[in-house]
Structure 1
Amino acid sequence: MAHVNLRMLNLVAGILHLAQAVAVAWTVNHSGHLLLPVTVEYPTGSPASGLPPERISVAAVDVGIGAVIALLLPAVTHLLIASPILGAHYRGAIEGQRNPIRWVEYAFSSSIMLFLIAQLNGITDVGTLVLTYTAQSAVVLLLWLQERLGTPARTLRPFVVASVIGIVPWGVIALHVLAPGATSGYDQPGGIRLLTITLLLLFFGFGVNQWLGFRGVPAGRTYPTEERAYLVLGLVTRAAFAWQVVAVILLAAGPPQ
């Protein structure tokens, strides 16, 4: 019965993700695209010369399209799980209390979201952005490793390491939000700050859900219960991200002419 409920929940989650991806794509296409630069800096002299580096723009990322991709990835995954294609594999994973499908999908979608949040907060350096994406992917893969140790786990070391790594990108983002020592007087738009804080709390909520699962707390907590919590939390997180990105794009576009 639990498998039937999870299959139906995956089907609903897949449809809702897909519907939102279509709606966000339509909105972005009709309201204008927000392109954010990816840059690299090259030295123009020796480290002691004091010469400013040369900054070159190497790419531009469409934030709206990024939000659509962050919705499409889980949409496709959930719909495949609800279908015969991955249905049997998913049932076996739930019975074995190990679900690699979840971790692979979340590694991509959460890393894309964090990458875009970093960009929206003014981080343009390609090295910092790549490391942000990589750090978040590493966090999810460590949680995958933690899951393989069983529930309740005999050790939470992978989870602890994941937590330490996971806080670093948010610390870098916080540095750009707080901007200590800045003299320009520029203040980040409220919509971007709200998006950043909302996603930080939701990412934290995901970590709490996994910690409870790994510890087997409360007593009697089952793996399907953890999976249902993840499905709901994942849907809320991506929806909050995508629609707040849409709001930022609409504000950046200004009133219609």
Structure 2
Amino acid sequence: MTLRAWNLTAGILHLVQAVAVAIIVASSVRLLLPVTVEFAVGPPGTAVAPERIPVTSVDIGIGAVVVLLLPAAMHLLVASPVLAARYRSAIESRRNPIRWIELGLSSAIMLYLIAQLNGVSSLVTLVLIYTAQSALVLLLWMQERLGTPARTLQPFVIASAVGIVPWGVIALQVLAPGATIGYDQPGWIRILTVILLLLFFAFGINQWLGFRATPTVTAYVNEERAYIALSLATKAVFAWQVVAGILITHGATS
């Protein structure tokens, strides 16, 4: 299949899943994840628990729909006459900013939601997780602009170091060292987190291979196809695991 066919197929699959997930979410119990802020009480160094104030809540079902709609819009746009010529030119030059814009948005939102599912509720921490993932994507975009094979992989190395941080925060939240009462993590969240960690790692391997590849259009096209497949798999796993979790919650409360 041509890249246009790959994008068209991926766009349709993302869109169909987004509609299906939206229908299920609309007819099920809402799974709301709290967002809070903490303010220090008393002077520094005093053993007084900070005041925790609820700010808002995030509907994880709607979040799953958004995660599917963003790549659907990107794939369908690059397959349409609107961006087809620009996309073709980007592929031929082996630099694709459209991919990085979509990835920066969808992956940051997804990691934000994964953190919330694992018990992270602090607005400050969630914003930093979102920012770290966005920075990772920007660094990979910078690496791509250096060309292939790149003279240096410094942006990729820094991106990898930055990308580990959110997962470390999530692991710390789940393990809860020193806590008398740990986070009672449902099994479906544990499975989702592990699968997505592996898929994020697979994406990193794909990019590393791409940055070291022979600088040909064919090599970049193969990398783009691998990215499309990984992106579809990651978003689908996330969305349908969330749906399963919502249905499990609905069954437990009904």
- TM range, smaller chain: over 0.9
Counterpart residue number, 1:87: 84
Q: Tell me, yes or no, if the aligned pair for 1:213 and 1:221 is still in contact at 8 Å.
A: no
Counterpart residue number, 2:234: 237
Residue 182 of structure 1 aligns to a residue in which SS?
A: coil
- Residue 69 of structure 1 and its aligned partner are, at CA, apart by 0.3
How far apart, in 2, do the equivalents of 1:199 and 1:218 lie?
Answer: 30
Question: CA 1:237–1:180 in structure 2 vs 1: closer, same or farther (change >3 Å)?
Answer: same
Q: Render the CA deviation track for 1:180-230: whole Å, top value 9, x for unaligned.
A: 122225531111000100100000000000000001179997100000000
- Are 1:126 and 2:123 matched, yes or no? yes
Q: Tell me, yes or no, if the aligned pair for 1:120 and 1:192 is still in contact at 8 Å.
A: yes
Q: Render the CA deviation track for 1:137-172: whole Å, top value 9, x for unaligned.
A: 000010000000111111000000000000000000
Counterpart residue number, 2:225: 228
How far apart, in 2, do the equivalents of 1:32 and 1:100 lie?
Answer: 38
Question: CA 1:170–1:15 in structure 2 vs 1: closer, same or farther (change >3 Å)?
Answer: same
Q: Tell me, yes or no, if the aligned pair for 1:139 and 1:165 is still in contact at 8 Å.
A: yes
How far apart, in 1, do the equivalents of 2:136 and 2:102 lie?
Answer: 13
Counterpart residue number, 1:49: 46
- Are 1:32 and 2:29 matched, yes or no? yes
Residue 207 of structure 1 aligns to a residue in which SS?
A: helix
For normalisation by structure 1, the TM-score amounts to 0.95
1:57 corresponds to which letter in structure 2? Answer: P
Runs of 4+, deviation exceeding 3 Å: 217-221
How far apart, in 1, do the equivalents of 2:68 and 2:80 lie?
Answer: 19
How far apart, in 2, do the equivalents of 1:50 and 1:180 lie?
Answer: 19
Counterpart residue number, 2:71: 74
**Alpha carbon RMSD of aligned pairs, Å?**
1.7
Q: Tell me, yes or no, if the aligned pair for 2:92 and 2:217 is still in contact at 8 Å.
A: no
Q: Tell me, yes or no, if the aligned pair for 2:7 and 2:75 is still in contact at 8 Å.
A: yes
Counterpart residue number, 2:180: 183
1:16 corresponds to which letter in structure 2? Answer: L
Question: CA 1:90–1:218 in structure 2 vs 1: closer, same or farther (change >3 Å)?
Answer: closer
Any gaps of 5 or more consecutive residues in structure 2?
Answer: none
How far apart, in 2, do the equivalents of 1:196 and 1:94 lie?
Answer: 32
Residue 177 of structure 2 aligns to a residue in which SS?
A: coil
2:85 corresponds to which letter in structure 1? Answer: A
Question: CA 1:41–1:202 in structure 2 vs 1: closer, same or farther (change >3 Å)?
Answer: same
Any gaps of 5 or more consecutive residues in structure 1?
Answer: none
Counterpart residue number, 2:151: 154
Q: Tell me, yes or no, if the aligned pair for 1:145 and 1:158 is still in contact at 8 Å.
A: yes
Q: Tell me, yes or no, if the aligned pair for 2:61 and 2:242 is still in contact at 8 Å.
A: yes
Residue 91 of structure 1 aligns to a residue in which SS?
A: helix
Question: CA 1:185–1:101 in structure 2 vs 1: closer, same or farther (change >3 Å)?
Answer: closer
2:248 corresponds to which letter in structure 1? Answer: L
Q: Tell me, yes or no, if the aligned pair for 2:149 and 2:215 is still in contact at 8 Å.
A: no
Structure 2 residue corresponding to 1:215, chosen from 212, 217, 220: 212
- Residue 55 of structure 1 and its aligned partner are, at CA, apart by 0.6
1:94 corresponds to which letter in structure 2? Answer: I
For normalisation by structure 2, the TM-score amounts to 0.96
How far apart, in 2, do the equivalents of 1:179 and 1:51 lie?
Answer: 20
Q: Render the CA deviation track for 1:97-143: whole Å, top value 9, x for unaligned.
A: 00000000000000000000000000000000000000000000100
How far apart, in 2, do the equivalents of 1:190 and 1:236 lie?
Answer: 20
Q: Tell me, yes or no, if the aligned pair for 2:173 and 2:183 is still in contact at 8 Å.
A: no
Q: Tell me, yes or no, if the aligned pair for 1:212 and 1:218 is still in contact at 8 Å.
A: no
Counterpart residue number, 2:108: 111
* Percentage of identical aligned residues: 67
Question: CA 1:225–1:56 in structure 2 vs 1: closer, same or farther (change >3 Å)?
Answer: same
